[in-house]
Amino acid sequence: MGCRAGLRGHQGSKEEEQLTSIVETGRLRIDGQRLLDRLSALSRVGGIAGTTGSSRLAFTDADRAGRRLVTGWMEDLGLQLSVDGIGNVVGLWLPPGIDPAAPPVMTGSHIDTVGTGGRYDGNLGVLAGLEVIETLAAEGVTPARPLAVAFFSNEEGSRFQPDMMGSLVYVGGMALEEAHAVEGIDGATVGAELARIGGRGPSPCPGPAPHRFVELHIEQGPVLEEAGVGLGVVEGVQGISWTEVVVEGQSNHAGTTPMGLRRDAGYVAAEITTFVRRLALEFGHPQVATVGAIDLHPNLINVVAATAKLTVDLRNTDNDRLLEAERQLARELDAVADREGVSITTRTLTRFDPVVFDPEVVDLVEATAHRLGITTMRLPSGAGHDAQMLARVCPTAMVFTPSENGISHNPAEHTDPADLEAGANVLLHTMLALAAAD
């Protein structure tokens, strides 16, 4: 029945066995419908009425319900679960005859969502991991090492910052106590909310380094679709710089205050927003820059705004360019404060350097896709992902599937089922090959 896939065989007698097994396992394919069914079931947890999207902000009741559903599936597959102090869940697959002490080839992602999330972001990477294991188990294929599927807490950072908090803590980039003390947009703390939903486990932080890590994720951008390819080979992750900007001007009557005597925080927010766009265009691709949130006070039609709070999101794959963008923003804030007679204060919310993935794992993803007849292109990730944290502790790469119209963080997020299936198959064969490698 079973065969051992990709066993390293140096004896002549084993080589033929290995070739056979590679040919055999090369025909293995995940069950696309089962993957879609799990994605659909999970999307209904915290489902947004009238859409196929979900709202499962980290450590909310909806997040707890999502965790229960996915850990249930992990248990059904016989995975050995470990839950750590920040709520990261790792499901380890140890089929008989495998060395339980060998570091596993790990895949995974997250199951928390933004407030207006789609059904693929994060969930795909976790549920495709389950699909990989279920497929191998059903076919009686035993990899050369343990495999693991993880979901990391609070990847989105919509409620508690920074984003990618769970994987950051997993790799030792943030102390558990520090993470627990983080206060969210609703005033609750990570520690209290984690305790409330029963999400905290006994496994230590940082967690054990995997042998290799590979994450499947939707692109969340339009580049693959525009290029007409089936799969993205992700070479790295853009550096991310998030700044909160607070402008303090002077509230005043909109009819009676001559233009020259205003200290209009709303206008200054608009100037910063248009500056940020110009900066991105001047820097050129792959620099992106976004003001996604603006809050004016008192935010009334006939009152010059007294204060404005806005966020600036800068990203670039080149850290020197990102640093330069940050410097230019800082200079502009000084200049506009001076011109407009307002005071401006800033606070760094998140700052991650760009990440370069392991070239061998990247090459393997690409070769695997081509072996399966799937067209690819190489690209950086514009979004932050758990894989960039795991890259600190083991060779890592990512696989992207196309996003229809590039839409993400939106219930309308969609990826063609054939692309989802192709991505999961590339994940399957990449993991098998990684398990076989040294």
Contact set for a copy of itself, span 340-399 (CB under 8 A): 349, 381-384
Give the chain as a 3 state SS string. CCEECCCCCCCHHHHHHHHHHHHHHHCCCCCHHHHHHHHHHHHCCCECCCCCCECCCCCCHHHHHHHHHHHHHHHHCCCEEEEECCCCEEEEECCCCCCCCCCCEEEEECCCCCCCECCCCCHHHHHHHHHHHHHHHHHCEECCCCEEEEECCCCCCCCCCCCCHHHHHHCCCCCHHHHHCCECCCCCEHHHHHHHCCCCCCECCCCCCCCEEEEEEECCCCHHHHHCCCEEEEEEECEEEEEEEEEECCCEECCCCCHHHCCCHHHHHHHHHHHHHHHHHHHCCCCEEECCCEEEECCCCCEECCEEEEEEEEEECCHHHHHHHHHHHHHHHHHHHHHHCCEEEEEEEEEECCEECCHHHHHHHHHHHHHCCCCEEEEEECCCCHHHHHCCCCCEEEEEECCHHHCCCCCCCCCCHHHHHHHHHHHHHHHHHHHHCC
Q: Which stretch binds a copy of itself (CB under 8 A): 85-93, 96-104, 216-224, 364-372?
A: 216-224
Half-sphere exposure of 95 (CA within 13 A, CB side): 19
Taking the complex as a whole, the smallest distance from the CB of residue 117 to a copy of itself amounts, in Å, to 10
Give the binding range for a copy of itself (CB under 8 A) out of 31-39, 79-87, 322-330, 406-414. 406-414
Residue choice 81, 254, 330, 335 for contact with a copy of itself (CB under 8 A): 254
Q: What gap in Å lies between CA 81 and CA 89, rounded to an integer?
A: 7
* Nearest-angstrom CA–CA distance, 252 and 28: 69
Closer to a copy of itself by CB, 280 or 342: give it. Answer: 280
Question: CA of 80: how far to CAs of 72, 100, 172, 421, in Å?
Answer: 12, 11, 22, 26
- Please count the residues of this chain forming the interface with a copy of itself, following the rule CB under 8 A: 72
Provide CB contacts within 8 A for 51, sequence distance 6+.
411, 412
Residues 72-131 that bind a copy of itself (CB under 8 A): 114-116
Minimum gap (Å) between residue 115 Cβ and a copy of itself: 6
Taking the complex as a whole, the smallest distance from the CB of residue 302 to a copy of itself amounts, in Å, to 6
Amino acid identity of residue 377, one-letter, is M
Pick out residues in 147-176 that bind a copy of itself (CB under 8 A).
Answer: 157-158, 163
Closest CA to 145 of 109, 108, 92: 92
Range in contact with a copy of itself (rule: CB under 8 A) among 12-20, 46-54, 135-143, 289-297: 289-297
23 versus 301: smaller Cβ distance to a copy of itself: 301
Task: Kindly tell me which residue out of 222, 321, 324, 351 binds a copy of itself, with binding defined by CB under 8 A.
Answer: 222
| Shortest separation between residue 341's beta carbon and a copy of itself, angstroms | 13
Query: Which 228-247 residues touch a copy of itself, going by CB under 8 A?
Result: 238, 240, 242
Residue from 38, 211, 409, 429 binding a copy of itself (CB under 8 A) = 409
Q: Report the residue number, 111 or 269, with the smaller CB distance to a copy of itself.
A: 269
Q: Pick from 223, 342, 427, 434: which binds a copy of itself (CB under 8 A)?
A: 223
Nearer to a copy of itself, 211 or 262 (CB): 262
Stretch that binds a copy of itself, among 28-36, 255-263, 329-337, 353-361 (CB under 8 A): 255-263
Nearer to a copy of itself, 32 or 406 (CB): 406
Least Cβ distance, residue 296 to a copy of itself (angstroms): 6
Place of tokens 């002490």: 101
> Does the footprint of a copy of itself cover residue 52 (CB under 8 A)?
no
Q: If you count them, how many residues does the chain have?
A: 438
Piece of the chain touching a copy of itself by CB under 8 A; list 59-67, 73-81, 386-394, 407-415 = 407-415
Exactly one of 19, 138, 181, 261 binds a copy of itself (CB under 8 A); that residue is 261
At closest approach, how far in Å is the CB of 79 from a copy of itself? Answer: 31
277 part of the interface to a copy of itself, by CB under 8 A: yes
Closest CB to a copy of itself among residues 195, 335: 335
Query: Measured from the CB atom, is 219 or 235 closer to a copy of itself?
Result: 219
Q: In the set 132, 169, 176, 280, which binds a copy of itself (CB under 8 A)?
A: 280
Considering only 266, 354, 395, 402, the residue that binds a copy of itself (CB under 8 A) is 266
Window 290-349: residues binding a copy of itself (CB under 8 A): 290-296, 298-306, 311, 313, 315, 349
Stretch that binds a copy of itself, among 99-107, 193-201, 280-288, 331-339 (CB under 8 A): 280-288
With beta carbons less than 8 A apart as the criterion, state whether 74 and 82 touch.
no
